[in-house]
Structure 1
């Protein structure tokens, strides 16, 4: 798909509207991004944003949960909400004929959730079940342990679900206060993609949100301390059939120029069955049930991680093998063929991620929220193409020299070993 035209406008109350014209199908998808999320929670209220988005969908001042579900399902539309680290999001998908009604419903959910006690308790129970389920999954435990070592008290150390303790203590007033503080027009980005013109999008947003006034309180600001942790080697034992070995490194946020080079390194290591980690660790050495890497896009300090699921007897071999593959990036430049293959994979995958209206609304709305702007779409592809093996080696050497190591092993019951250094 050729990049569609994108129109950006702003209402008087601060709402940003992106319109991505794609008339090829009679479908409109939307994303309503709020500058909030688990990054804006205190440690004592971890999980608050998650509970908020769950309960928001379960009733407004005018409609019950059943009535909301009926209005969506009766026309075959989609409407949902979620919390991430750096934002809260409502998503919609509908045929053009029903867009006005579904858009109005989304606006009502955002603006006037009723936070019924019965729905709060129901959603709380479901989230507590999800938290308990996570504790039974070795990968999640290894990742939790790694985040804690990497970030210390920074909000990125915490799961967006919170903990059983914090989730149990969140009150209805906490939800009301968070909603009043964060869900406001000057923190809202609306991204619409499909058979819709900019004039139609602006008119619809004005009718639904134009009378929404900015509160007479300052917009919330977030001040987080710099991440200053030291590498650790941690082992947690759990009843599992395999070991999870995870190596992590503090990495730059999305606005750092080095971010793009690390995205290409991530692609080289983990993109598909011909990736370096898959070929070396699984195909050649037969060590891995699962092996990959990931580098999340973050507004604050991010992290780069490589991991492997393997037999418990292979734990130390997995640690040394993963570390050798990362160290190789610091010591040896990639060949011309290796770097071109990584570029082709990454840019091909990136293009495939913008095929549907939902993907378009997500991509450009997300860029706007991150402060990158819609032009970043073109800038990203150009920057990837220009990267050299020398630049990749320098970036790897800068960030990927000393790992934080997190292991979940089936060997003993409940113990956690920590070695700092």
Structure 2
């Protein structure tokens, strides 16, 4: 589960337009309105408690019933994702999941899409870390037919070569665009710094080198190994009860058999980083620099989860949080600065991200580190804590308003081994977090010795000044990065010595 910046961050691409619109306000009007109103009382969130039953084949069926509208979201989750990609084959899990909707033994990709459209829905699939998924949202009367489509796509994909090549090309094209952006580059490098050679360290979507290496056999092998009922959870959210869901699931998935062989042993998800604490990625000619920090975080089921999400909310979880106040609002160095707490099954990260002008990169690095120190060593004021908790509660309630949002939250509980009534206690647990707990969390997870800072941009405008301020700096040319390597450098394989 990932607690990122709130919905305001979605407006960042329009930051200049917003700034121009705000410019029509007079200075006196701004001064008169620059005191924020007190947050209102926390709104009670009505959360259905999920119920579950496991089918004889091992498939776990989880249902969150809410009869507000005649809609149901159903999603099949396989409890394996990008972390099971084989070495040098980053992207296999994502390709395998994406191709589920591209044709089965009895339906072509267009036929699958047309069948879903006739039901008023659309099949979607993909993979992240810890899970692969395929699902659909339809009206209640159409659910049985929709679930048959989900089962057909999940259990009987053909992985046609032409569809593989089309998906590979689309993924490579999107990846090349991403790697031309300093923010995306910085995040990828930061992930390597956080996880090293661990299974969470590579890009879930693959790399420019790994994607061309992936064969149909690789894709089919991953599907055969991990797509099994005793490694899956079928989630329903909306206008359906447990008995109805179990009956539908038994019909659609009852013949799915678990193999006698156990799942492969899980690889270590976090390895030791071999990268410098300050990393410069040179992207010559780019107009902005991206600053990304990363620290070792926590697993989703960690005891300090709630102090962690409150600490993240104070640091950079919303427009009014500290990073954005200091970097954007006070100094105008960015259109937005924020942080995110990414919690996974076995590990996680706490990170911050800012985009700024190249010449401002060094100043922004100092400001980010300063906010880390302040949060770790100074109790947050009570009114600030109250406001950030209110934001968390509001975002939580907003995220549950759709059946898709409810299904996603319930799936997190099931995938990460948490009690199914956890959502009902979310707001109370957030409210119970103290300022001391926030400081304790920050001291443990924002320590400078455990911090990696990545700055991606036009290095000639900031690299020398950055190295002067932070001597333990290493520089890379963006075009030379090898994202399949924990060192970010190509692995040189020496030819065998000739025998004489």
Q: Any residues of structure 2 matched to 1:363-378 within 5 Å, and which?
A: 363-378=409-424
In structure 1, the gaps of 5 or more residues are none
The answer for the alignment partner of 1:361 in structure 2 is 407
In structure 2, the gaps of 5 or more residues are 1-44, 475-500
The answer for the alignment partner of 1:347 in structure 2 is 393
Distance 2:452 2:85 in 1: 25
**Given the alignment, which residue of 97, 112, 131 partners 1:68?**
112
Distance 1:19 1:251 in 2: 30
Distance 1:102 1:46 in 2: 31
- Offset of 1:225 from its aligned partner? 6.2
Q: Does 1:275 align with 2:321?
A: yes
Task: Work out whether residues 311 and 441 of structure 2, in 8 Å CA contact, stay in contact via their aligned partners in 1.
Answer: no
**Most deviating of 382-391 and 25-34:** 382-391
- Offset of 1:226 from its aligned partner? 4.8
- Offset of 1:174 from its aligned partner? 1.0
Distance 2:208 2:362 in 1: 33
TM-score when normalising by structure 1: 0.95
SS of the counterpart of 2:88?
helix
Task: Work out whether residues 367 and 376 of structure 1, in 8 Å CA contact, stay in contact via their aligned partners in 2.
Answer: yes
Distance 1:69 1:389 in 2: 51
The answer for the alignment partner of 1:336 in structure 2 is 382
Distance 2:380 2:304 in 1: 17
Task: Work out whether residues 199 and 270 of structure 2, in 8 Å CA contact, stay in contact via their aligned partners in 1.
Answer: no
Task: Work out whether residues 44 and 166 of structure 1, in 8 Å CA contact, stay in contact via their aligned partners in 2.
Answer: yes
The answer for the alignment partner of 1:308 in structure 2 is 354
Distance 1:225 1:307 in 2: 23
SS of the counterpart of 2:354?
strand
Cα deviation per residue 1:239-262 (whole Å; 9 max; x = unaligned)?
A: 311111112111121122122211
**Given the alignment, which residue of 82, 87, 93 partners 1:43?**
87
**Given the alignment, which residue of 50, 53, 61 partners 1:6?**
50
Q: Does 1:114 align with 2:158?
A: yes
Task: Work out whether residues 227 and 301 of structure 1, in 8 Å CA contact, stay in contact via their aligned partners in 2.
Answer: no
The answer for the alignment partner of 1:393 in structure 2 is 439
The answer for the alignment partner of 1:233 in structure 2 is 278
SS of the counterpart of 2:391?
helix
Cα deviation per residue 1:325-375 (whole Å; 9 max; x = unaligned)?
A: 111011111111111111111122112111111111111122101111212
User: What value does the CA root-mean-square deviation take over the aligned residues?
Assistant: 1.8
SS of the counterpart of 1:295?
strand
Cα distance change on mapping 1:266 and 1:45 into 2, 3 Å: same
SS of the counterpart of 1:119?
helix
- Offset of 1:396 from its aligned partner? 0.7
TM-score when normalising by structure 2: 0.81
Pair member with larger Rg: 2
**Most deviating of 127-136 and 376-385:** 376-385
Q: How many aligned residue pairs are there?
A: 419
- Offset of 1:105 from its aligned partner? 0.6
Distance 1:226 1:83 in 2: 19
Cα deviation per residue 1:109-128 (whole Å; 9 max; x = unaligned)?
A: 11010111111111111111
Task: Work out whether residues 45 and 170 of structure 1, in 8 Å CA contact, stay in contact via their aligned partners in 2.
Answer: yes
